[in-house]
Amino acid sequence: MARSLFPSQMALPLALPADPRDDSFLVTPSNARAVHLLERWGSWQVRVAILTGPRRSGRSTLARLFAAKSGGAIMDDAHATSEEALFHAWNAAQSSGRPLLLVTDAPPPLWDVALPDLRSRLAASVHVEVGPPDDALVRSLLDYRLNRLGLDARPDLVDWLSSRIERSHLAVERTVDALDQACAERRKRLTIPLARATLIDAGLIAGKPEMP
């Protein structure tokens, strides 16, 4: 079952667009380890962690929560930042004790790092990964996004969708966008037959197109 990182606040799904107003994070086994590592930043051997995960996965939301809770700093798109800036930021985190979170698409071994001293520092940093969504998170994302758009998110429909679409944050987003557009264009209530025809036509699930 999904739980909120801060249970006293409203849970916002992982795949929502980055928004400074988002102040909580939905946790399931697929991202629980990442949350665990960030919550325990005080035990890091160095004061720097590298947060990776696919875009649209909510990593920016998680980074903002980390900064708010720890008082730490964030560097987004760290792989595109100058090596000199990264080197000085890494050292500053050690001297100040203020944690630094580097947000990027892939871990440093996949970067082209020329500075040996920076390469060794990045290798010593904590690696925090947001993985692909599990079944619980896919269901939660679908439910939230459908409700957010005022579409019918009854349990049998969410079950049907979650068992058929690709397990990725982007697939959830594209699925809900396609369903919203189909309902608006046809002025129809969202049903499983309509969802099936729409998603087959959009290439999001396999099958022969049949309009309801």
Q: Which residue has the tokens 């966008």?
A: 177
Name the class of domain 135-201.
mainly alpha
What confidence tens digit (pLDDT) does each residue in 59-107 have? 888 999 999 889 999 999 999 999 999 999 999 999 999 999 999 988 9
What's the CA gap between 212 and 202, in Å, rounded?
15
Task: Classify residue 190 as left (phi > 0), alpha (psi -120 to 50) or beta.
Answer: beta
What's the CA gap between 124 and 116, in Å, rounded?
13
Considering the entire predicted model, what is its pTM? 0.75
Question: In whole numbers, what is the pLDDT of the chain averaged over residues?
Answer: 85
For 3-129, CATH number? 3.40.50.300
Q: How confident is the model at residue 11, as a pLDDT?
A: 38
What confidence tens digit (pLDDT) does each residue in 107-117 have? 988 998 999 99
The count of C-alpha atoms lying within 13 angstroms of the C-alpha of 124, restricted to the half-sphere facing its C-beta, is: 15
H, E, C per residue of 37-55 = HHHCHHHCCCCEEEEECCC
Distances (CA, A) of 54 to 87, 152, 178: 24, 28, 21
Domain ranges of the chain: 3-129, 135-201
Q: How confident is the model at residue 6, as a pLDDT?
A: 38
Mean pLDDT value across residues 50-67 = 88
What confidence tens digit (pLDDT) does each residue in 17-45 have? 334 344 457 788 888 899 999 999 999 99
What confidence tens digit (pLDDT) does each residue in 122-178 have? 999 999 999 888 999 999 889 988 998 999 889 999 999 999 999 998 999 999 999
